[in-house]
Amino acid sequence: MCEITTFIFFIYGIIFGSFFNVVGLRVPNNSLFSPTRSYCDTCQRTLTWKELIPIVSYIFQKGKCRKCKESISAIYPIMELTTGLLAAYTFYRYGWSRELLFGLVLISLVVPLTVSDLAYRKIPNKILLFFCPLFLLLRMDDFVQALLGATVAFVILFLVTLLSKGGMGAGDLKYFTLLGFIFGTYPFLLLFFLSTLYGAVGGIIVMAVKKSGRKTKIPFGPFIGLAALTVFYFGEGIIQWYLVLLS
């Protein structure tokens, strides 16, 4: 029974992943509630329902528009599959619990912000503001620690933004501050460390693949999201392992 429910979470995760793609791509353009249906970015043709099936349509169309044959961004199936896997793993790990709800809301925050940052180099305020009251409700049982985490996150990122002279954007600062509220002080410090580690490794890989210099701009939002998910799933174990090493 658990396996069946996990699979159902995977299917629903894929479906919501498709919606999160739309949110991440349309919110920065203020077109989320536009009456216009999904269309090809190249030929502007309105897509049929057969072309909107998550992952499946991309595979059968071989990653190309059926009419103009232009390539469709791989970000669509990747984020759909990722959301499905994350939703399934969250249920498999936590079952019917408060952590399941917390994890699903966190995924719903991370995925569209990742899409938006990859596509436009933006962390939209509207998405952050939408999730603020949701996490406020989820953190009411430990509000003081959440508020302290947000304060620590803001101070650290504000100083980093000043010292980096534009290297860290205001969107990243707001994203980190919300995550500080979500996780609290010590988990946030781990999150911040992991995000910089992931960012450094990712930057090296991108520069090596593209054979570009250090001035290559790389969106930081995906690494922040990856760090947030790492802390959510494994943060407690990582912190305990670190404390054992110190003792």
Coil, strand, or helix at residue 103?
Answer: helix
Enumerate helices (H) and strands (E) in the chain, giving the number of each.
9, 0
The 10s digit of each residue's pLDDT in 42-66 is 676 777 777 788 898 888 888 887 7
The 10s digit of each residue's pLDDT in 109-146 is 999 999 999 999 999 999 999 999 999 999 999 999 99
| Long-range contacts of 42-46, Cβ-Cβ distance < 8 Å, separation of 24 or more | 42/68, 42/70, 43/67, 43/68, 43/70
pTM to 2 decimal places:
0.92
Instruction: For residue 78, give the nearest of 10, 119, 120, 21 by alpha carbon.
Output: 21
Instruction: For residue 20, give the nearest of 131, 177, 169, 139 by alpha carbon.
Output: 131
Beta-carbon count within 10 A of 246 CB: 5
Radius of gyration of the chain (CA): 19
Instruction: For residue 17, give the nearest of 52, 51, 68, 59 by alpha carbon.
Output: 52
Residue 196: is its pLDDT beyond 90? yes
Percent of the chain surpassing pLDDT 70: 91
- Residue 231 DSSP one-character state: H
- With 0-12 / 13-18 / 19 or more C-beta atoms within 10 angstroms meaning exposed / middle / buried, residue 146 is buried
Rounded Cα distance between 41 and 31, Å, is: 14
